[in-house]
Amino acid sequence: MPPDSPMDRRRFFRRGLAELLRPLASSIAPLERVANKIGELDAAAAARSGQQPNKILADLWLRPPGAISESKFLATCSRGGECVNACPAHCIKIDTTGTSGKGAPYIDADTTACVVCSGLHCMRVCPSGALVPTALADIDMGTAVWREERCLRTTGEQCQICVDECPLGEMAITLKNGKVAVNPLGCIGCGICQQHCPTSPKSISVIPKAAKES
């Protein structure tokens, strides 16, 4: 068969497509595992004064943008509070008792999410290297997960607050066939959708990056 025959061309493009989709598959697989794990913890979360699962599992804290891997972040961060003071949204917190966030800077997206400000000040003032300057599109704080069974859209309401409020727009989240669709490669995990979601418990919440690293 000639090298440029239709069969060879189809084989070439099929292999190319497989290579193109491989990173997508590898990024979604850990999210699915963690999402299933969090789903199993929903009952426990409700029994603990309505706490979200990311507050039950000690290793699932949302860190500021530009944070290095969780283990290195905890070992590197000086806990000096420079990122806290620089944040214009006042979303970064430090619990000196260590009860929340293991004593390191964290974000509670239920109350005050990261607004991914134009200056991204927190990562630029970090003196220890726990936060590193990162382009907006490359930020990975975590990934939002939508829970259809909790969403107001399942009752016929046309709620799309999570879509409308997302600072990254359709790159991260959109509506497809009437359902909320999160793009795991575009979502940076800022938590804006989680903060503004009107349901309790939240219909959409962020799985912190630390969960994907485990």
* Mean pLDDT in order along the chain per 10 residues (214 residues): 48 47 50 54 46 50 96 96 97 94 96 95 97 95 95 95 96 96 96 97 94 77
Of 68, 127, 117, nearest in space to 92 by CA: 117
Residue 39 is assigned to a structural domain of this protein: yes
Q: Is residue 183 part of a domain?
A: yes
Is the residue at 1 inside a domain? no
Domain membership of residue 23 (yes or no) is yes
Cis peptide before 201 (omega within 30 of 0): yes
Residue 170 lies in domain: 6-213
In a domain, 38, yes or no: yes
pLDDT in the model for residue 60: 84
CA separation for the pair 103, 84 (Å, rounded): 13
The answer as to whether 101 is a domain residue is yes
Q: Is 176 part of any domain?
A: yes
Angle made by CA atoms 134, 139, 145, in degrees to the nearest 5: 175
Q: Of the candidates 55, 64, 172, which has an alpha carbon nearest to the alpha carbon of residue 110?
A: 55
This prediction has a pTM of 0.76
Residue 186 CB neighbours (<10 A)? 16
* Per-residue pLDDT, 212: 79
Are 183 and 171 in contact by the 8 Å Cβ rule? The answer is yes
**Alpha carbon separation from 194 to 71, 107, 147 (Å, rounded):** 25, 12, 11
**Domain tally, the chain:** 1
Predicted pLDDT at 211: 87
Write down the pLDDT at residue 104. Answer: 97
* Paired strand residues for 173: 182
pLDDT of residue 36: 53
**Cβ within 8 Å of residue 59, ≥6 positions away:** 70, 210, 211, 214
